[in-house]
A and B are shown apart, each in its own frame.
Chain A
Amino acid sequence: MLATFSAGCTVVRPWERGELANPTMRFQMAPVADEQEASVLEITEGTTFSSAGPGSAGAGCGCH
């Protein structure tokens, strides 16, 4: 998988990463708000769970 990922990728030097360093190029630009929203979705959707695993969003009996 690593080979696949790396194949064909030109090495991007540190001084060429200006656009990559922009806040818009984070996987989570607003991480706290993302986590808050994710906690709602995890309880609302039957198969959604975070990378931390099921139950990591908290407990509750799912009464709602």
Chain B
Amino acid sequence: MALLVAATGDALAQEPPQPSPEVPGYPLPVAPTAPDDDEDDEGAPESVAPQEPVAHPMSGAIRTGIYADGDQTYVFRVLGAIAAAFNRWTVSGSVSADVVSSASVDVRSSPGLSKVDVVSSASGTTSTSGGTMTDRRFQVTGGLGWKDDDGHAVNFSASFANERDYNSVGGGFNGSIDVFHRMTTLLGGIRFTGNFIGSVLDPTFSQRMVDLGWSAGVAQVLSRKDALRLRYDGGYSDGYQASPYRNVRFGDWRFTVGDYQHIIFSNTIGSADGLPETVPATRLQHALVLEWLHSLLPGLGLHTEARLGIDSWGMKSATGALDLRTASGQWRVEVGYRFYIQSSADFYQSKYTLAPSNYSYFTSDKELGRETGHVAHLDVSRVLLPSRRPGGASLLFDGRLTGMYYTYPDFVLLGSRAGIFLDLGFTWEN
């Protein structure tokens, strides 16, 4: 049910100088920082007078988000996060909750979920009624980071998430090292997640899946106005990767929409309910990400990103993104556009026209078919209460509106989907 998932908010601790504290489990170093001391300072201008350091800098954030799309899915999220620094150490944590309501084609075509007045799970709070499913998700994260003044940093993280039908627990670490006059940052990380899958329709349903992710890369200052980051991300998943709610119909089927928008299938081979989807138990994924930062003018920057992905299910994807940013006085504004395109999995078909025995795998997951996406966002931040002294508290407002449009040329039940995501929050720090 997790359409929206909390990303740990301890990135909120980040402000200049770079590199900033990382989100646990997200090895995403920024451009290498300037050294605090070194042998190459000949000719350097006089330094400014030192400021009195804050004993234990702290930061916190609260955010709320609303997602809605044309596939009748709505998500409301709240998130709180806090981080505190103790000398070279940083401790962070976050809590988030999502509430989901959906009458998507997946729900309305599911033999179980689309039934009216189905109430299941021990508490009975996860339910479907009239072809709409509601659920909630909680997540907590914790992180511990360490860094020195010479460009060495390491972060450890742990997380736990709970849904009615899904629990996951994960942990990982990442690190970075600045080298070559701090012109270059080497980075890497690894993360493990264990998933325990159930079904709100069947208390006896129990499956497991493990995810292993890794990342390695390098960030490089190219000039006074340019920085580059090249990263390789990999992932390996082993276990149950299908959905217990999605069924596949066979034959040259047709469909109509009945009461409560329930999708009714006809002209099928075998039962009109079809069979639960089945996909390979293992999946190996690779992605190469290249980012370029360019300063057009002081306070006006351009961020571009290109990503190529490939996996063992035969899927290939390409992503391009462009962000234009400005920071002036109390304001920061970013406008961005992102394009995404993917090919289908080897085993994906719009219709499995033969009997089930002819297929090793079959799925009705539209996101395993061909897909094209356009995503645009506007992000506005403003300092509401600036710090009036070194180490004083400051308060920042941040709001982002994201619009997205996806097409699914191989998916019969839904050709396209448009959605919006509004994310608002406040950050304080001292």
Contact = CB atoms under 8 A, between A and B. Distances in A.
A36 B8 CA distance: 9
Given A6-B180, A24-B325, A61-B243, A45 B367 contact: yes
Contacts of B266: none
B299 to A, nearest CB: 6
A55 B398 contact: no
Among A36, A49, A57, the most chain B Cβ lie within 10 Å of the Cβ of A36
A62 B235 CA distance: 18
A54 B235 contact: yes
Contacts of A25: 31, 227, 293, 295, 301
A56 B233 CA distance: 12
Question: Which applies to chain A's interface (DSSP): helix, strand, loop or mixed?
Answer: loop
B231 A51 contact: yes
Interface string A26-64: 111111110111111111111111111111111111111
Contacts of A47: 285, 287, 309, 311, 315-317, 342
B26 A52 contact: yes
B274 interface: no
A64 B332 CA distance: 33
Contacts of B398: 30, 32-33
A61 B230 contact: no
A50 B26 contact: yes
Contact of B5 (A21, A31, A60): A60
Contact of A59 (B65, B166, B189, B234): B166
B102 A60 contact: no
B354 to A, nearest CB: 24
Contacts of B427: 32
B273 interface: no
Contacts of B221: 9, 12, 17, 20
A4 B377 CA distance: 34
B7 A55 contact: no
B317 A45 contact: yes
A39 to B, nearest CB: 4
B124 interface: no
B3 interface: yes
B223 A11 contact: no
Contacts of A49: 213, 233, 235, 285, 287
Given A17-B224, A19-B298, A27-B291, A55 B325 contact: no
Nearest to A19: B295
B212 interface: yes
A21 B291 CA distance: 17
A32 B41 CA distance: 35
A17 B34 contact: yes
B347 interface: no
B3 A64 contact: yes
B6 A39 contact: yes
A47 B410 CA distance: 16
Contact of B71 (A41, A51, A56, A64): A64
Nearest to A28: B28
B225 interface: yes
B143 to A, nearest CB: 12
Contacts of A35: 7-9, 11, 23, 26
23 contacts: A5-B228, A14-B182, A15-B34, A19-B224, A22-B298, A23-B16, A25-B31, A25-B227, A26-B20, A27-B31, A29-B303, A30-B379, A40-B404, A41-B404, A43-B4, A43-B5, A44-B373, A46-B317, A49-B287, A50-B233, A54-B285, A57-B7, A63-B1
Closest 10 pairs (CB-CB, A-B): A53-B213, A58-B5, A35-B7, A24-B301, A55-B211, A60-B2, A14-B34, A31-B11, A54-B235, A46-B367
